[in-house]
Amino acid sequence: TFGVARHAPLGAALEEVLETPARIAAKDGPRVAVVFDEFQQILEYGNDQVERKLRSVIQHHDKVSYIFLGSRKHLIQKMVLDRKRPLFGAGGRYPLGPIAEEHWQPFIHRRFLDADKRIEEGQIHQVCEMTQGHPFYTQHLCHVLWELCEPNAVVSEKTIATAVKVLLDRESYAYTSLWESLTLSQKRFLKGLAAEASGVKVYAGEFVSRHGLSSASNAQRAVQALLSKDIIDREGDSFLITDRFFRLWIQSVQSP
């Protein structure tokens, strides 16, 4: 950790902190890696001074690697793809996608066995279908399943249904508030996205008419608004609902 004097100028204090990894690397020999988690939060400062200072300092650090992580993809992209931003072109981009079920199967199975609990391949598949392989939601759902499953017992479909209900009940107030803040077109789009298989063509006539969106332009406006709120994310040529549990909530609470 780094201490900053109460009345020290922010610029000087920030530069001192940013220079520390390079000094450590120069002293101890090995490369140093610095990870900024939820990096997009610096946009809340209201100006780009921190980004400018960061760029001006780290560009001279040849023995330090920097990793900028963020859960709000469109904000991270704004910071590194906008030519007017200080960090434009500062490094490569590595989108982190879902984890394939083939990797989840042995991991989840082993974790349950370590506690004398069992979860079969079919139930793990069901979990992965619900969470679409997203690490946070998969582990969160499995944690609730683990709590519900007694030692020497087997996770059943009923256990999974109970776990999902527990999770959705916890988030019900937040999801209801979010839902009520959306326009009718945005709600219809999300209902359609939650109901359809992955990769659905959301601008196709079939999707538009089936989910009451009136026109492809209505769907496009809904997409832009939902992307800006991080409610949906791009997936190849289609989209998915960012919060996998919100997707399950829409499926369970909202009528088609």
pLDDT digits (tens, 9 = 90+) for 134-160: 999 999 999 999 999 999 999 999 999
Judged on CB neighbours under 10 Å (0-12, 13-18, 19+), 46 is: exposed
Given this model, what pLDDT does residue 217 score? 96
Q: Report the chain's mean pLDDT, rounded to a whole number.
A: 90
Over 80: is that where the pLDDT of 26 sits? yes
DSSP H or E stretch at residue 170: helix 157-180
CA gap 43, 74 in Å, rounded? 12
CA gap 53, 179 in Å, rounded? 39
pLDDT digits (tens, 9 = 90+) for 191-242: 999 999 989 999 999 999 999 999 999 999 999 999 989 899 988 889 999 9
Task: Give the domain 182-253 fold.
Answer: Arc Repressor Mutant, subunit A (1.10.10)
Over 60: is that where the pLDDT of 92 sits? yes
**Domain range annotation of the chain:** 10-81, 101-176, 182-253
Over 70: is that where the pLDDT of 45 sits? yes
Mean pLDDT on 26-41? 87
Given this model, what pLDDT does residue 109 score? 97
The pTM assigned to this predicted structure is 0.78
